[in-house]
Amino acid sequence: MFLMTMISMITLLLTTIIMFIASLLSQKNNKDREKNSPFECGFDPKESARLPFSLRFFLIAVIFLIFDVEITLLLPVIFILPYSKLSTWISTTLIFLIILLMGLYFEWNQGVLNWSN
């Protein structure tokens, strides 16, 4: 029992020392102006490269990704048709499509799809 405790303590001590040395060696020197400035063909940038990101564009991109994933969920439905009952297949597919259309209508109703605002 004493041997197991000693091995555990030595292991803990070694890992702590290694993590401390690694953190000391991995510290970067961020005081260089050239490394902190954005690269623009070797010239000083004309404007700030830290421009705010368009939230409108981000929302459209997220909606596109969501509907893209939903389409990939809808494609295997065609291959399932021969292995299931027709009534079950139709009801499941219609429920899924209705949920998709309700989501699209909600986004359209909220004005998320209007880019010109």
What tens digit of pLDDT does each residue of 41-81 get? 666 556 666 667 777 788 888 888 888 888 888 888 888 88
Q: Which domain holds residue 21?
A: 2-28
Q: Is 38 a domain residue?
A: no
- What is this structure's pTM? 0.49
Q: Is 50 a domain residue?
A: no
- What the block records as the tokens of 54 is 């368009």
In whole angstroms, what is the distance from residue 75 CA to residue 87 CA? 18
pLDDT at 106 over 80: yes
- What the block records as the tokens of 44 is 């000083």
Mean predicted confidence (pLDDT) in 4-31: 87
**Residue 62 shares a structural domain with residue 104:** yes
**Residue 63 shares a structural domain with residue 24:** no
Q: Is 10 a domain residue?
A: yes
> DSSP label at 45?
P
- The dihedral sign for the CA sequence 59, 62, 68, 74: negative
CA-wise closest residue to 102 among 73, 74, 67 = 67
Q: Is 84 a domain residue?
A: yes
Asked if 40 contacts 95 with a C-beta cutoff of 8 angstroms, the reply is: no
**Residue 24 shares a structural domain with residue 64:** no
| Per-residue pLDDT, 20 | 92
Mean predicted confidence (pLDDT) in 26-30: 67
| Per-residue pLDDT, 86 | 93
